[in-house]
Chains A and B, each alone.
Chain A
Amino acid sequence: MAASLQRIGIVICRTFPVILQRNIQAQRIRDWKTSAPVLRLNFRALSSSSSSSSSADDTDSTEVLSRYSDRPWEYLESEEYIERYGSKPVWSNYRRNHKGGVPPQKTRKTCIRGDKICGNPCPICRDPNIIVHYKNVNLLQQFISPQTGIVHDPIRTGVCMKQQKLLNKAIETARDCGLLFAQLPHVDYSKEDYSNTHGAVAPTPAPFSLSSGELWYPWYGSIKPDERELARVKRIYKDYLKPDV
């Protein structure tokens, strides 16, 4: 009797926390699903989806997709955005949970793994309508300092590292396309020579070839040999000279 009770107690003690954790997570996922329409396409692609789940996805994905996935910049003018954030940046009311006064110098790697979202997700992951896109200039501006033009550190804004990387890429593309301001260095033109006459960039001049009668060195013709030296050389090599010389 006591042994069986003990065994039941052990089983309950072992299974209760697991059930509790599963319940908590299910509740969190339910909350996340009901709070706003969810962008599930990315997560489905990431997780290994079997054929059965994909057929269920097709019916799900049409309603589960965020309304602003095609034009993410429209969300920043919508009423729900203004109600939720007002005129402040998206990351203003976010607070990280960490031990001690100094936060870890890197935020978490990612908030969303597969289907699961962590507790206290970062400002971008907690609102599925906020999509990091290079045309979403108003959102990107919130993550750039207006005075220095430097992208804010993730420790300041609280975004996870994956979203920070996406942000960096989007800001770079926006600057390349001219949608965001990019500070460029001043170019000095005084020192360079633009004549383009050097052989590296101009056609190579044709090789010098002698025309008939022309001598290799111009002074060849003007020097007269010494008569005695000439006679001596001719006498020495008289067997080898041509008959007319």
Chain B
Amino acid sequence: MATFSFTRCLVRSYFCVKCVDHVQTRLQTTASRSSKYSKSQFTDTEVQDILTKITGLDLKKVFQPIRQQLTPPKYKLMTDTELEEAVRKAEEQAKHLLKMPPVLPERKPVNDVLSEDQMLEGMGTAKYVFTDINFNVPHRERFIVVREPSGTLRKATWNERDRIIQVYFPKEGRKITPPPIFKEENLRVVFEQDRHEDVLNQCVVQFEPDSAEFKNVMEIDVHGKYDLLRSTRFFGGLAWHLVNGRRIDGLLVDMLQSDLMQDAVRLVRLFNLVHPQSESAQHAQRQQATDLDLLKIYAQYESNRAGFIELAVQTYEQTKALSSF
């Protein structure tokens, strides 16, 4: 009897896996059918590489002194090699700190009813929430079900799930209800004080990366103050969002003004990767253009501020020619 149920479970799981595989293959085929060229995703190695390089690695900004309990400073005497080793370790730590929050598709709502018991109707006025509080279960595999006063037993929605998991397994810095900083008026005040990083940190701590509120906050326009986020973990996400919305002109101009030619070139290359059907991408592929030619092609076909970009490219070429002499 036990073996029978065990084998039945195995068969069921086999069928479930088959269903999931089938669904996944179906999704992949539809995606490939929709775009003729393969569209790069956020998780591609090339895209991630470009984004990390654009973000830069300003050690002074990454390791800014944070507000915490102070200890007396430690002084160490080091040789040159030891110093280089320490700097290398610091850079690795900085890379770990600058890891970008993932850009995920929005999570689908959970609308699953497990059972409907009419005879439990009218038993009380409150909903009952049953949670699985085993410690070794990942939060995304935790069963949380709600018994409504009408008798239906349903799976909890994403909002309810987040709140209940925060009650039983509190995470540091996260509140049960989202703090009022995410309301319109407060956001405006904070952006006036140029504290975008703080808001983004709050958002990252409070919300899950695939929730709607997270996406709403992360997609807020920076309005030209790209320097604030330059060496933080949010710069990659910002660049990705701008590239997807085809609004990289402001960022390009900012980069050219601060003499970051390589970064500008990388940004244009990213744009071509993400929008392979666009004119600049097709021209670039035809001519196999590199570096400044990419910028020129982009300025010619796609950009709104073509004049400024071309002027900047020309000045850069001139200075390079002058310095080479």
List A residues at the B interface (Cβ < 8 Å).
Answer: 147-150, 176-179, 181-190, 192-194, 196-205, 208, 217
Enumerate chain B residues within 8 angstroms of A196, measured Cβ to Cβ: 107-108, 140, 210
B179 interface residue (CB < 8 Å to A): yes
Check A177–B140 contact: CB distance below 8 A.
no
* Residue B68 interfacial (CB < 8 Å): yes
A181 to B19, alpha carbons, bound, how many Å? 49
Report A-chain residues with C-beta under 8 Å of the C-beta of B69. 148, 150
Chain A residues within 8 Å of B67, by CB: 147-149, 181, 183
Contact with A along B199-219 (1 / 0, CB 8 A): 101101100011000000000
Closest 4 CB pairs of A and B: A149-B67, A178-B181, A176-B179, A198-B141
Q: Decide if B99 touches A189 in the complex (CB within 8 Å).
A: yes
Query: Which residues of the partner chain A approach B11 to less than 8 Å between Cβ atoms?
Result: 208, 217
7 contacts between A and B (CB under 8 A): A177-B181, A179-B189, A192-B138, A194-B102, A200-B143, A204-B112, A217-B11
Distance A199 CA – B202 CA, assembled complex (angstroms): 30
List chain B positions with a Cβ less than 8 A from chain A: 7, 11-12, 15-16, 19-20, 66-70, 97, 99, 101-102, 104, 107-108, 110-112, 114, 138-144, 155, 158, 161, 172-173, 175, 179-181, 186-187, 189-190, 195, 198-199, 201-202, 204-205, 209-210
Whether B181 and A184, one on each chain, are in contact in the complex, defined by CB atoms closer than 8 angstroms, is no
The reply to whether B141 and A200 contact each other, CB–CB distance below 8 Å, is yes
* Contacting pair A194 B205 (CB below 8 A): no
Instruction: Point out the residue from A184, A189, A217 that lies within 8 Å of B173, measured CB to CB.
Output: A184
A185 near B172 (CB under 8 angstroms)? yes
User: With the chains together, A69 CA to B304 CA distance in Å?
Assistant: 51
In addition to A187-B101, A201-B158, A205-B19, 14 A-B residue pairs with Cβ atoms within 8 Å of each other are A148-B69, A148-B70, A177-B180, A178-B187, A178-B190, A178-B195, A184-B202, A187-B205, A192-B139, A194-B210, A200-B155, A201-B141, A205-B16, A208-B15
- The reply to whether A187 and B204 contact each other, CB–CB distance below 8 Å, is yes
Contact B198 A181 (CB under 8 A): yes
Majority-rule SS of A interface residues: loop
Cβ–Cβ contact B102 & A189, under 8 A: yes
B25 to chain A, nearest CB (A): 14
Residues of A within 8 A of B209 (CB): 189, 194
Question: Is the Cβ of B68 less than 8 Å from the Cβ of A200?
Answer: no
What is the chain A residue whose CB lies nearest that of B102?
A189
**Do A183 and B68 touch (CB < 8 A)?**
yes
Min CB distance, A196 to chain B, in Å? Answer: 6
State whether A147 touches B70 (Cβ < 8 A): yes
For B140, list chain A residues within 8 Å (CB).
192-194, 196, 198, 200-201
Interfacial chain B residues near A208, Cβ < 8 Å: 11-12, 15
Tell me, in angstroms, the Cα distance from A183 to B104 when the chains sit together. 26
Residues of B near A184 (CB, < 8 A) are 173, 201-202, 205
A176 lies within 8 A of B198 (CB): no
Residue of A nearest to B175 (CB): A176
Q: How far is the CA of A187 from the CA of B204 in the complex (A)?
A: 7
Contact A200 B190 (CB under 8 A): no
With both chains docked as a complex, state the minimum distance between the C-beta of A181 and any C-beta of chain B, in angstroms.
Answer: 7
Q: Which residue of B lies closest to A195 (CB)?
A: B140
In the assembled complex, the CB of A208 is this many whole angstroms from the nearest CB of chain B, namely: 6
Hey, which chain A residues are within 8 Å of B68, CB to CB? 148-149, 183
A194 CA to B181 CA, complexed, in Å: 26
- Chain B hits for A193, CB < 8 A: 138, 140
Assess the B101–A189 pair: CB atoms within 8 A: yes
**Alpha-carbon distance A200/B3, docked complex (angstroms):** 26
Residues of B with C-beta under 8 A to A150: 69
Q: How far is the CB of B154 from chain A (nearest CB, A)?
A: 11
